[in-house]
A = this chain, B = another copy of it.
Amino acid sequence: MTLHELIQSLKTDGGKIVMLVSDGIGGLPMAPGGPTELEAAKTPNLDALATQGVLGMSTPILPGITPGSGPGHLGLFGYDPLEFQIGRGVLEAAGIAFPVGPNDVCIRCNFCTVDENGLITDRRAGRIPTEESSEVVKLLRAVKIPGVEIFVEPVKEHRFVVVFRGEGLGGNVADTDPQKTGLAPLDPVAKDEASKKTAEVAKEFYRQAREILKGQPKANCLTMRGFANKPSLPSYKELYGLNAAAIAVYPMYKGLASLVGMDLVGSPKSLEEEVEVLKENWDKYDFFFVHFKYTDSRGEDGDFDAKVKMIEELDKVVPAIAALKPACLVVTGDHSTPAKMASHSFHPVPTMIVSDLARTDSCNAYNETEASRGGLGHFQAIHIMPMAMAHAGRLEKFGA
C-alpha cells in the first residue's frame, strides 16, 4: 500500500488547515558562530507560536538535494517529487498561472532572429523587451489548426508559452532549438507513437507562425523546447478530501497549486493582501496554501539583512492568521535559500505545527537551531501533509 493509497483510505472530515509557506525560509550564518537569517530576525509572533506548537526539520526531497520551486512545492503538497515530475513546458505554463488541463501539451518557446536563409542569427531575438514581445505573441493567436485549441501566452522578453489542447497529444517531442546560431530550427520530431500528432501540430504551428512573423525586425522566428503533458497528479480533493485554496502573489506558485487542483483565490499584491484574501475566503475552504515569496528573493540576492527584514514582515502577519484559529497551522518553506549562498540550497527547512493536538516540545523560537531538536524530529517534506491532516483531525485510525 502506497502513502497516497493509505491517506486516501483514511481521510475524513475535520478542521481547517493553513499552510504558510515562506519561500526559501531556511538560511545559514554568514560567518561561523553567527546567527542565521531567522535567528537574526526579531520574530516575537512566530516565537510565541513555537512555544505553543511543535517543531521539526523538513527535508524537501532527500538529504543533500537542492530543490527547484516545482519539486519543492510538490513535496510540500505531499507528492513525491521523484515520482511526480513536472515537465519543463508545464512548469513554464505554471509559471504564468496558465491552468494546464489533462489534454494539454505545453511548450516553452523562444523568439529568435533568422537571416534570409532561415539560419538563426540570435537565439533570443535580441532579448526583445517584454512590452514588444507581448504584442508579437498576440499576433500568433491567429494560428488555426483544425481539431486543436491553441493558446499562446507571453512570459518575459523572448520567452513565451504555447499550449496545444486536444485528444491524443503526447508530450514526447524533441526540442527544435539547435542550441547554436548559424543553423536553422530543427523539425519537431515525435519520440514515441503517442506524440506523432503533437509533432504534426507543432510543424503546422511553426509554418503558420513563420508567415505571421515574416515582417518582424527581431522576433521573426521561434524555437520550441520542453514539450510536456500535465503530470497525472491526484487532486487535493481526491487525495485528501480537501477543498483547497491557493493564495499567492507570484504566478509560478499559483500555477503549481492549480496542478494539484487548488482554487486560485483573490489577486493579492502583498502579504497583507494575501491575509485579507485568506479572511474573505475562510468559510469557503478547508485548506489554504499561503505563499510568501520575498524571503527567497532576498536570499537569492545574497542580501542577509534584507532577508531578515522580510522575515520580520512575515512575522507581523502571523497574528492575523492565527486569529482565524485554524485546527492546524503549518509554517514551513519549500527549501532553504541562505543569503550566504545567494541560491536555493539543500539544507533542511524549519517547520512548525501549531494545533491543539500538537505535542509541544521545548522549542521557544522558530529557527534552525530550535527546529533541529524539535519534537517532530527530521522528516521528508511529503510527510507534512499527513501530519497536518492528523493534527486537524482529518485522518482515521489505520487498522483495528
- List the interface of chain A (C-beta within 8 A of B): 1, 3, 6, 10, 26, 28-29, 32-33, 36, 52, 57, 61-72, 81-83, 85-86, 88, 91, 341, 343-348, 357, 359-362, 368-369, 372-379, 383, 385-391, 395-400
Contact = CB atoms under 8 A, between A and B. Distances in A.
Copies of this protein in the complex: 2
B6 A82 contact: yes
Contacts of A62: 3, 6, 383, 386
Ranked nearest first, the 5 interchain pairs of A and B with the lowest CB-CB distance are A377-B378, A64-B386, A68-B399, A64-B390, A63-B383
B357 A28 contact: yes
B52 A32 contact: yes
B1 A65 contact: no
A387 B399 CA distance: 25
A359 B28 contact: yes
A226 to B, nearest CB: 10
A179 to B, nearest CB: 18
A65 B377 CA distance: 15
A329 to B, nearest CB: 14
9 contacts: A1-B83, A64-B383, A64-B389, A65-B395, A66-B390, A68-B400, A346-B390, A361-B369, A377-B377
A349 to B, nearest CB: 11
A68 B397 CA distance: 6
A126 to B, nearest CB: 24
Given A66-B390, A374-B372, A375-B368, A398 B360 contact: no
A68 to B, nearest CB: 4
Contact of A395 (B28, B85, B346, B398): B346
Given A71-B399, A397-B344, A399-B85, A63 B361 contact: no
Contacts of A88: 400
A32 B395 CA distance: 23
Given A377-B378, A399-B68, A400-B68, A63 B386 contact: yes
Contacts of A81: 398-399
Contacts of A3: 62
Given A32-B52, A346-B390, A373-B373, 4 more contacts: A26-B359, A29-B359, A64-B388, A67-B398
A200 B28 CA distance: 62
A398 B85 CA distance: 10
Contacts of A375: 368-369, 372
Centre residue among A3, A81, A360, A389 by max chain B CB count within 10 A: A360
A389 B383 CA distance: 25
Nearest to A53: B32
Nearest to A369: B362
Centre residue among A62, A383, A389 by max chain B CB count within 10 A: A62
B69 A398 contact: no
Nearest to A372: B375
A341 B358 CA distance: 11
A368 B372 contact: no
